[in-house]
Amino acid sequence: MKDRVVFLDRDGVINVEDGNFVTRPEDLRLLPGALESIARLTAAGWTIVIFTNQSGVGRGQMTESALAEVHDSLRAQVTAAGGHLAGIYACIHAPDAGCDCRKPQPGLLIRAAQELKLDLSTAYAAGDTPRDIAAGHSAGCKTALILSGHTKTYSPESFPDPQPDEVFPNISALAEWLISSR
C-alpha cells in the first residue's frame, strides 16, 4: 500500500481558475510552479492523483472525449517536466445528479484508493475550495487548502467546517512542505 500520496484538485491548484470550463487543451493554463512542483513530488517518491469536479460534461458544455484530451495534454506536460500522475479522477456529473463522486462527496478519493491501492489515512487531499477539504476529510485524508484558486484568504472563522489541516499559498509551498516533512 502506498502511503506517500497527495490528491490534487485541478482547477485553481494546477491550472488557472477563471470561472470558465477548460474544454480544450489550449485552454489549460497552468499556474506558475505547478509542473515543477509535481516533478519534485514525483522525484521525492510521492504518488500524485488528480481529483476534480468537471460538471461541464454533465451540463452538456463539453464531451467526455474533450475532457480526455484536456487530461491527456496535462499528463503530457507533467511527464515532459519530469513528473508523473498516477491517475486523474473526474466527476463528470451535473451538480444536481446526486452522485457519490462529486465533491464534497468522497467517491473520487475512495475509488482512486481502491484502484491504485492507496492508504487514505496517510494521504493528503489538497484543493482550493471547502468542498475539496470536505471530500478529503470524509475520505479520511489529511487536508491542505491552497489559496491560488477560489479561496484567496483563510481564516478559521469564515471557512466552513471541516477546517483544513494545513494552508498554503500555492502548490509550490505545498510541495516544499510535503517533501521536507517526510
Structural domain spans, the chain = 5-181
Q: What is the pLDDT of residues 105-161, one digit of tens each?
A: 999 999 999 999 999 999 999 999 999 999 999 999 999 999 999 999 999 999 999
- Measured in degrees and rounded to the nearest 5, phi and psi for residue 167 equal -135, 135
Helix (H) / strand (E) element for 87: namely strand 87-91
CB 106 within 8 A of CB 139: yes
At residue 141, the pLDDT reads 98
User: How many beta carbons lie within 10 A of that of residue 130, not counting itself?
Assistant: 19
How would residue 2 be classed by pLDDT, with cut points 50, 70 and 90?
confident
At residue 106, the pLDDT reads 98
At residue 19, the pLDDT reads 87
Q: What is the pLDDT of residues 28-86, one digit of tens each?
A: 999 999 999 999 999 999 999 999 999 999 999 999 999 999 999 999 999 999 999 99
pLDDT for 182 beyond 90: no
Q: Would you please indicate which residues are annotated as catalytic (active-site) residues?
A: 9, 11
How would residue 99 be classed by pLDDT, with cut points 50, 70 and 90?
very high
- Measured in degrees and rounded to the nearest 5, phi and psi for residue 23 equal -105, -10
Q: What is the pTM of this model?
A: 0.97
Closest Cα to residue 89, out of 68, 73, 69, 104?
A: 68
Question: What is the dihedral sign for C-alpha 109, 115, 121, 126?
Answer: negative
At residue 3, the pLDDT reads 77
Task: Give CATH for domain 5-181.
Answer: 3.40.50.1000
